[in-house]
Amino acid sequence: MKIRRYMGKDTQEAILKVKMDLGNEAVILNTRKVRQKGFLNVFNKPLVEVLAAVDEFYGGKTKKEFPKSEPSIVVREKNVENQSNLNEKEEKIALLENKVSNMESVLQKIYEQVSNGTAKTPVKEANPQDKMKSRITDLLYDNLIKNEVDSDIARQLIDIIGSQVKDGSNINDIGAILYKLISGILGEPETLKLREDGKPTVVVFVGPTGVGKTTTLAKIAANYSINHKKKVGLITADTYRIAAVEQLKTYAEILGMPIEVIYSTNEIKDAKDKYKDKDIILIDTAGRSIRDKTHFDELKMQVEACMADEVFLVLSTTTGMRNCREILANYDFLKDYKLLFTKLDETPSFGIILNARRLTNKNLSYVTIGQSVPNDIEVANVDKITKKLLGSIL
């Protein structure tokens, strides 16, 4: 038996090829649709494949070689013809059923895509202006990250810019928008506010170890004593570091200020009472490790006992973002405070200033730019900090 496959654009064409090649004696074994291969043929109508067979006895020899009076051969030819007609009708029915089934399947897929909102739409080529905006915002984002701005904060800023940038904006226009956003977040710095009722203004300095609280306190004391002619009294509770006490005593002696050293929380009130005639009382606390719960709880009690009018949380700009987050979280017991940053001269990046301001929503105050007392301290310059964060864009 010979078995062959024939392809046609429809069933009639394929069967015609069968009859032309194998004759009317061929038997149709199977019919199916076959989709053409290749990307360009995805949307073309599928072809019809017909699988046909014929006995080699009939296909290989002509009928003249056999007696015409052979009854069995005549009967067989009739049976084959009848079978062929029957198969052809069945194939037509199957073809119609396949078409209906395929149409139902396509309609179901279209319905699901529309219902789920996943119907594909043609992808438009990016506008050149959009590409330029994207490159500029990517550059600005990279500058923020290099300046150690928290990635979440940087992304928020860039997203806001994307909604405000107009078509045709250049890097200067977009940089100006970012400048406005950052300076707006940093806000207007607030310095030490003195009481107006004649009582001394009590100021407490808190912060982790090694950020420069004692030196910063001395700078502020010298500034108000020399430049503002205020009477200043000093108190130190930082008795865990002998060097810190001696350091502040040295500053007090040079500036001609009284100093009280306290060793317990109970002594704070008495020390304050000794300075009733002063304009300002500055209190230095010990730097506490946020992981030392006992000492940190002691610091909380000290701050509460001081009943301060002003609290400055002193942070170093050399502090990493992860540590900064942890520090701010542990000092959240403070009811109100101002942010004071030290060591701006020791770091190339000012990201921590924006991060802390954004995370706490507390006002900026002073920054220190060196070790010299009283010169190396100034009110935070928002313009300078913002331009530093933007890098070379502005």
Residue 16: domain span: 2-116
Number of domains in the chain: 2
Identify whether 148 is part of a domain. no
What confidence tier does 88 reach under pLDDT thresholds 50, 70, 90? low
Residue 137 lies in a domain: no
Q: What is the pLDDT of residue 89?
A: 66
Percentage of the chain beyond pLDDT 70 is 74
Shared-domain flag, residues 378 and 261: yes
Residue with the larger pLDDT of the pair 114 and 62: 114
Q: Is residue 234 located within the same domain as residue 349?
A: yes
> What does the pLDDT look like over 170-179, one tens digit per residue?
778 888 889 9
Residue 383 lies in a domain: yes
Residue pointed to by tokens 């400055």: 312
- Assigned domain for 352 exists: yes
Compute the distance between CA of residue 360 and CA of residue 187 in angstroms, rounded to an integer: 13
Asked, for residue 370, whether it belongs to a domain, the answer is yes
Residue given tokens 């490790």 in the structure block: 289
For range 9-26, the mean pLDDT: 81
The strand ranges marked E within 170-261 are 201-206, 232-236, 259-261
On whether residue 23 sits in a domain, the answer given is yes
Please state which of the ranges 1-5, 52-56, 80-84, 388-392 shows the lowest mean pLDDT: 80-84
Higher pLDDT, 251 or 124: 251
Is the confidence at residue 62, as pLDDT, over 50? no
Which of 92, 116, 140 represents a domain boundary (last residue)?
Answer: 116
192 domain residue, yes or no: no
Instruction: Verify that 102 and 211 share a domain, yes or no.
Output: no
Q: In this structure, are 279 and 374 located in the same domain?
A: yes
What contacts 312, CB < 8 A, 6 or more positions away?
203, 204, 205, 206, 216, 337, 338, 339, 340, 365, 366
> Last residue of a domain, which of 74, 97, 116?
116
Same domain? For 214 and 327 the reply is: yes
Q: What is the CATH number of the domain that holds 369?
A: 3.40.50.300
Residues 361 and 215 in one domain: yes
| Measured CA distances, 139 to 13, 171, 323, 384, 393 (Å) | 64, 9, 27, 20, 9
Q: What local confidence, expressed as pLDDT, does residue 370 receive?
A: 87
